[in-house]
Structures are given as structure tokens and as C-alpha cells.
Amino acid sequence: MQSLVISIMGKDKPGLVDALAKCVYKHQGNWQGSSFAHMAGMFTGFVEVHVADEQKQPLIDALDAITDLSVQAVAVSNGEPTNTTKLTVDVMGNDKTGIVQELTSVLNQFNLNILTFTSHCESAPNWGSLIFKAKAEIAVPENFDDGALQDALEALANDLVVDITAKR
């Protein structure tokens, strides 16, 4: 079995995920997991599929033939599981230009791997401005000092609220 990670992007319309799922099914692929999102009129996401070696290229060719959808498939090897701890980092504060760069820079300074990252802005009616919210799942080595990470993130701005919890 070959593991493929398939990324897709296209103008949002009904049936995009169904077209992808039918294509995977037709080539005896086993849908392992996926994440999709709608943003600014576009639909994007990725899927991990296990497929027999002899079906890999036919599946990739069939995916490339889906109209109105940009598709990229990358074969990946099944790596060894790592013994890292996962933490969830929730951040909330006033929105400002560069906030994502500042957050990711701190994570990089601690040499941490971002596994998932989501963010959005929402209206803060009482303040008349936008509130930035982000959630990241990060891999950290055993015995990692999450207090030092929290201090470094909170030092970015006096209004930044940071909550770090162990992922179970």
C-alpha cells in the first residue's frame, strides 16, 4: 500500500468532495483522514489516502482530470511514530498586522513543530475592533517547559491571552 497526501483547491461549489471521494473509491483507495475549508469563495483542503501500488498512478491521473479543481498528490512513506508530546496553544488578542508571523516566530525559536494551525478574526462589539483568535497543535519534546513558551508568547503584546494545554 502506498500513502498519498492529496491537496485540492477550486472555486467553491457543491459536489467537489463527492468528486474526489468517487475518484478515490473507483481506484480502491482507503480514505484515512481529511481537512477541508471554505475561504474567500474558494474550497481547499487535503486528504490522506492509502492505495495499492498499482493503483497509485491511475488514481493520480484521474485526480488530475477532475475539472474546475486544482489537485496535487504526493506519495509519502509511513514514518516511524515519534515519542513527542502534543500541546494545544490557544491565543486571543487584538488583531494587528504581523500577529501570525510573531506567533510562529516564537514557536520556531523554541524549535517546535506546528501540527495544525487555525486562525480567524471576529468582531469585538464592545471594543470596536477585531479580535484575533488562533489555535495550534504543536509537537514538543518530553519534559518541555511550556511555562517558558507561555511567557514568550504573552510577551508579544500586553493584551494577548495564551492558554496551553496538554493534548490527550
Q: Which of 76, 104, 119 finishes a domain?
A: 76
Which residues, at least 6 apart from 103, have a Cβ–Cβ distance to it below 8 Å? 91, 134, 136, 153, 156
CA distance 113 to 101: 15
Q: Are residues 64 and 96 in the same domain?
A: no
Domain that holds residue 46: 2-76
Domain boundary among 76, 98, 125: 76
- pLDDT tens by residue, the chain, 168 residues: 889 999 999 999 998 899 999 999 999 999 999 999 999 999 999 999 999 999 999 998 998 888 888 989 898 876 555 667 899 999 999 899 999 999 999 999 999 999 999 999 998 777 678 899 999 999 999 889 999 999 999 999 988 999 999 876
**Residues forming a β-bridge with 73:** 6
Domain co-membership, 90 together with 66: no
CATH label of the domain that carries residue 133: 3.30.70.260
Domain count within the chain = 2
**Residues 53 and 72 grouped into a single domain:** yes
Helices (H), 65-168: 99-109, 146-154
Asked if residue 9 and residue 64 are part of one domain, the reply reads yes
**Total residue length of the chain:** 168
Beta bridge partners of 123: 130
pLDDT of amino acid 83: 60
Is there a contact between 129 and 94 (Cβ–Cβ < 8 Å)? yes
C-alpha cell at 57: 498512478
Q: Give the contacts of 106 (CB within 8 A, at least 6 positions apart).
A: 149, 152, 153, 156
pLDDT at residue number 129: 83
Q: Which three cell numbers stand for residue 117?
A: 494551525
**Helix intervals (H) in the chain:** 16-26, 53-64, 99-109, 146-154
Distance CA 68, CA 93 (A): 38
Q: Could you give the 3-state DSSP secondary structure of residue 73?
A: strand
